[in-house]
């Protein structure tokens, strides 16, 4: 891979303006990483700014009520991320004096941090030589080094090793950012733009035939039962509507499950209303709500 060409492209065309790209503050980076999980960049930016205005540092976040954190998570979905981020902040304040550690094992021991997030924080906040192997980077590495990813010709471990060999020493922040941006805007999953790609001269898949790519992907596509459902019929939709109802309550106030069912009758399919108590109990297990004697509130 021509990393010099990649980084030159990033300087001219990359999304260097993103608020989490212009900071090396570990707290701001970790907030962005939690928010960006399965959420589009454009949706995250205003919510990221509002969240940091309310909780400007990790000490402020740790001191907040979990319910207030979930309230500010509105619009991002996957509310358990907010609960885990809050728990992470409390752990860091208690065990590390409010300073996020940079060691990989220490990061992995924190609530809500897996291998990808640990690597991302090390690369983007601490500028350590680590690879944040997300979907975009994984796809680019596979295409440049092995060809089209359908069928897969390299394991996750092999792709990680290949990516680490490509990354220039001391350049983790911009290299990871550049790879993610190329994957998001040029080397996309369905319609790669090989003619304008800075990596085309050393790419095993270039030029990609979009029709061939789509045909291969269809052969291997497997959707879970939840993915095959209309969104309004998924458990995720039901969880989100329950949490939204509780967000609208004044802090500390509760809503009875029966009242919750009645309030959601207009938006939830009728045959799913009976599932609301079960989903509410799952939200309690996830630490998002408190359920006592049929009364619900945000934690």
pLDDT in tens, 222-246: 655 655 678 888 899 999 999 999 9
What predicted TM-score, i.e. pTM, was given to this entire model?
0.88
Q: State the average pLDDT for the chain.
A: 93
Structure tokens at 54: 């309310």
pLDDT digits (tens, 9 = 90+) for 138-190: 999 999 999 999 889 999 999 999 999 999 999 999 999 999 999 999 999 98
Give the span between the Cα atoms of 273 and 262, in whole angstroms. Answer: 9
Contact status, residue 15 vs residue 36, Cβ threshold 8 Å: no
How wide is the angle at C-alpha 70 spanned by C-alphas 37 and 50, nearest 5°?
75
| Percent residues over pLDDT 70 in the chain | 97
CATH 1.10.340.30 placement within the chain = 25-124
Topology classification of domain 135-221: Endonuclease Iii, domain 2 (1.10.1670)
Place of tokens 């805007």: 185
Quick one: pLDDT at residue 113? 96
3-state secondary structure at position 295: strand
Domain with CATH 1.10.1670.10 in the chain: 135-221
9-13, 143-147, 210-214, 284-288, range with the lowest pLDDT: 210-214
What pLDDT is stored for residue 278 in this prediction?
94
296 phi/psi in degrees, rounded to 5: -115, 145
Q: How far is CA 298 from the centre of its chain?
A: 22
Which DSSP category does 169 fall into? Answer: T
- CATH no., domain 25-124: 1.10.340.30
Q: Tell me the C-alpha to C-alpha distance, in Å, between residue 167 and each of 46, 171, 204, 272.
A: 31, 7, 18, 49
Instruction: Give the Cα separation of 255 and 260 in Å (integer).
Output: 7
Question: Looking at residue 177, what is its pLDDT?
Answer: 98
* CATH class entry, domain 231-298: mainly alpha
pLDDT at position 226, please?
A: 57
Query: Within a 13 Å sphere around the CA of 165, how many CA atoms are in the beta-carbon half?
Result: 10
Is residue 227 part of the annotated active site? The answer reads no
pLDDT tens readout for residues 54-73: 999 999 999 999 999 999 99
Residues of the chain with CATH 1.10.10: 231-298
Question: What per-residue confidence (pLDDT) applies to 214?
Answer: 80
């Amino acid at each position: 891979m021509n990393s010099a060409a990649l980084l030159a492209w990033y300087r001219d065309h990359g999304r260097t303006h993103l608020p989490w790209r212009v900071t090396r503050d570990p707290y701001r980076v970790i907030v962005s990483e939690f928010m960006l999980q399965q959420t589009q960049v454009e949706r995250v930016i205003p919510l990221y700014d509002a969240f940091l205005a309310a909780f400007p540092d990790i000490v402020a976040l740790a001191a907040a009520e979990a319910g207030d954190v979930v309230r500010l998570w509105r619009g991002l979905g996957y509310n358990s991320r907010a609960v885990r981020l809050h728990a992470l902040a409390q752990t860091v304040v208690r065990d590390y004096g409010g300073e996020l550690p940079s060691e990989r094992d220490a990061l992995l021991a924190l609530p809500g941090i897996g291998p990808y997030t640990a690597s991302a924080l090390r690369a983007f906040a601490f500028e350590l030589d680590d690879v944040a192997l997300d979907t975009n980077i994984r796809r680019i590495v596979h295409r440049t080094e092995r060809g089209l990813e359908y069928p897969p010709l390299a394991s996750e471990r092999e792709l990680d090793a290949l990516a680490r060999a490509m990354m220039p020493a001391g350049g983790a922040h911009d290299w990871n950012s550049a790879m993610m941006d190329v994957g998001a805007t040029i080397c996309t999953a369905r319609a790669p733009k090989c003619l304008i790609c800075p990596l085309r001269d050393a790419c095993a898949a270039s030029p990609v035939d979009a029709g061939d790519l789509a045909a291969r992907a269809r052969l291997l596509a497997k959707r879970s039962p939840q993915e095959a459902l209309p969104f309004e019929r998924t458990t995720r939709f039901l969880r989100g509507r329950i949490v939204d109802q509780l967000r609208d309550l004044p802090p500390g106030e509760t809503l009875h499950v029966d009242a919750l069912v009645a309030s959601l009758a207009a938006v939830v399919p009728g045959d799913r209303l009976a599932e609301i108590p079960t989903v509410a109990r799952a939200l309690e297990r996830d630490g998002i709500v408190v359920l006592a004697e049929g009364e619900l509130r945000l934690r």
